[in-house]
């Protein structure tokens, strides 16, 4: 993580290239390079990476009876060809930033800042220069103050170096407090109201900790409910504005919604890709004066109709009260149409600014507004609908399915291939006409895996797959046998004895999808239809 590397570097604990002689003793191996190790009371051990590329596991390097020595380390490091890591055993190393003249920085290359004449380590210089220019601070007389400014903004270097949406999501994820848990216990019934209540009720833990819920789909369902309950779409389908609802504002629902959005982005949930661009721009800057809004940004039906009426008539006498209620104070006449419409647009959008302010406070949970302001272009696809439809489709599900097939040419193999063909036909039919029946390929994937969105975290994208198994030993004496799913392991098992035709497959999948959302519904259906 760039953020962690910077923190360690400023604390004098960053990467080092050392010259190790064979006669070095345990106390001399690293203490000269890392003076802080001499003060650790709990001891430390060295580790090295195993395997090739990607996220590799660290394995411990066991010390000799007299501790580590130069000869041993030259051997285990292949004569210096691999990187070793220092891991404290009982005590956490102090990562407080050191002053620029500290002993740990003696050999580190430095350069002079032309604005303040301060000699700064090269690793820290880009962000130092950036903030010297931004703040116009003359710090020539005080090296201590200059470095304090650098420390105050040190985490900004990670934001400065981010180059893709994936890196931004990794940065957001690094803010999750892995040592604490934020527990939510909710039912699927009325998830929005109960989810908001339980979210706000947690007093002993912060939503910045790891989210723990009683069912996997919490973030998927809550983001969908937040979009439906708290935002309203325009006719152009290019994003939604917040609903003007003072009750929701008073209950701090929008702040909780912002926190849920931040947690969803940080912990692999669906991104809130439903905001209008002007709303996103305001969340980035918090400055309404720099935002440009037009009639297309009016999503409230009442004001959209009023704009249409103003546009279509020259006699506005019957519209006077409605126009004046929007804050327009000029002459109400046909020659003032543009000014009247502008007033309606401003009234419709400006009245939700307090709502956006509350939403922005919620997003601050993971310092999102800061990264959004620094990298608006990279963050835009996470909040605003684009030209590319990134919804789950049949092809995505099938490409990520990994069937566990029997020996090729066997009877079981033939049945399994037929079931996979049925599954493909079913998904493609849902994709083509499922909307009319309130079924989508995203909901099919949610039923199987717990999420209806494509993975957004780079680590999740790499590891995402759906395992397909087949049960050939099912007893056919009962009338119905559903496919079984394990959302935690993303595994689905098809009973081949009950899926001999495409119609049988579609019927059983339809029933499973319809009644599988509630345990009570499944139980009642099985009691009435199956033995």
Instruction: Give me the domains of the chain, ranges plus CATH numbers.
Output: 1-88 (3.10.20), 103-161 (no CATH), 170-382 (no CATH), 394-518 (3.30.2410.10)
pLDDT at 459: 74
- CA of 239: how far to CAs of 248, 254, 261, 278, 381, in Å? 20, 17, 16, 10, 12
E strands present in 34-154:
44-49, 58-61, 84-88, 110-112, 119-121
What sign does the dihedral 268-269-271-272 (CA atoms) show? negative
pLDDT at 210: 57
Residues with Cβ < 8 Å from 262, sequence gap 6 or more?
172, 207, 362, 363, 365, 366, 368
Residues 252 and 246 sit within 8 Å (Cβ to Cβ)? no
pLDDT at 138: 42
Residues 72 and 64 sit within 8 Å (Cβ to Cβ)? yes
pLDDT at 74: 80
Tell me how far apart the alpha carbons of residues 227 and 237 are, in angstroms, rounded to a whole number: 13
Q: 13-46 as b/e, with b when 16 or more CB fall inside 10 Å?
A: bbeeeeebeeebeeeebbeebbebbeebeeebeb
Tell me how far apart the alpha carbons of residues 505 and 224 are, in angstroms, rounded to a whole number: 29
Instruction: State which residues of the chain have pLDDT below 70.
Output: 1-7, 26-27, 29, 32, 41-42, 50-56, 99-101, 123-124, 126-128, 130-165, 171, 174-191, 202-216, 388-389, 434-437, 475-480, 515-531
Residue 342, token pair as written in the block: 């502008």
DSSP state of 231: E
pLDDT at 374: 85
Helix (H) or strand (E) run with residue 222 in it: helix 218-230
Tell me how far apart the alpha carbons of residues 378 and 55 are, in angstroms, rounded to a whole number: 24
């Amino acid at each position: 993580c760039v953020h962690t590397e910077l923190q360690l570097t400023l604390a004098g604990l960053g990467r080092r290239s050392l010259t190790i002689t064979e006669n070095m003793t345990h106390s001399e191996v690293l203490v000269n390079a890392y003076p802080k190790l001499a003060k650790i009371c709990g001891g430390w051990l060295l580790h090295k990476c195993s395997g090739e590329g990607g996220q590799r596991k660290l394995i411990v390097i066991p010390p000799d009876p007299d501790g580590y020595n130069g000869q041993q380390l030259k051997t285990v490091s292949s004569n210096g060809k691999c990187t070793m890591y220092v891991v404290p055993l009982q005590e956490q190393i102090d990562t407080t930033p050191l002053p620029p003249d500290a002993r740990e920085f003696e050999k580190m290359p430095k350069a002079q800042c032309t604005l303040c004449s301060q000699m700064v380590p090269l690793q820290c210089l880009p962000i130092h220069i950036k903030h010297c220019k931004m703040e116009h601070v003359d710090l020539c007389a005080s090296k201590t103050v200059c470095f304090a400014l650098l420390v105050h903004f040190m985490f900004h270097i990670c934001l400065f170096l981010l180059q893709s949406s994936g890196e931004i999501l990794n940065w957001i994820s690094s803010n999750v407090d892995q040592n604490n848990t934020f527990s939510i216990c909710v039912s699927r019934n009325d998830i929005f109201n109960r989810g908001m209540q339980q979210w706000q009720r947690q007093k002993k833990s912060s939503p910045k900790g790891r989210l723990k819920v009683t069912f996997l789909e919490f973030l998927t369902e809550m983001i969908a409910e937040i979009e439906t309950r708290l935002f309203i779409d325009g006719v152009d389908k290019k994003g939604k504005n917040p609903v003007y609802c003072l009750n929701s504002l008073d209950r701090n629902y929008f702040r909780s919604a912002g926190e849920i959005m931040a947690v969803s982005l940080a912990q692999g949930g669906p991104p809130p890709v439903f905001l209008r661009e002007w709303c996103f721009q305001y969340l980035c800057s918090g400055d309404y004066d720099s935002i440009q809004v037009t009639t297309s940004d009016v999503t409230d039906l009442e004001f959209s109709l009023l704009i249409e009426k103003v546009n279509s008539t020259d006699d506005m006498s019957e519209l006077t009260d409605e126009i004046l209620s929007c804050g327009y104070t000029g002459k109400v006449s046909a020659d003032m149409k543009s000014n009247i419409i502008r007033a309606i647009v401003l009234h419709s959008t400006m009245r939700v600014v307090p709502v956006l302010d509350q939403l922005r406070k919620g997003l601050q949970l993971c310092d999102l507004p800061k990264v959004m302001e620094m990298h608006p272009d990279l963050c835009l696809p996470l909040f605003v609908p684009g030209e590319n439809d990134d919804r789950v489709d049949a092809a995505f599900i099938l490409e990520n399915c990994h069937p566990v097939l029997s020996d090729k040419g066997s009877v079981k193999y033939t049945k399994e291939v037929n079931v996979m063909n049925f599954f493909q036909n079913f998904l493609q039919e849902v994709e083509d006409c499922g909307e009319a029946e309130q079924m989508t390929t995203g909901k099919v994937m949610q039923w199987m895996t717990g999420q209806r969105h494509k993975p957004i975290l780079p680590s999740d994208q790499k590891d995402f797959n759906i395992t397909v198994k087949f049960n050939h030993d099912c007893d056919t004496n009962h009338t119905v046998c559903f496919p079984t799913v394990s959302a935690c392991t993303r595994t689905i098992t098809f009973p081949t004895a009950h899926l001999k035709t495409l119609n049988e497959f579609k019927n059983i999948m339809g029933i499973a999808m319809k009644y599988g959302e509630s345990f009570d519904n499944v139980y009642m259906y099985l009691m009435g239809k199956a033995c």
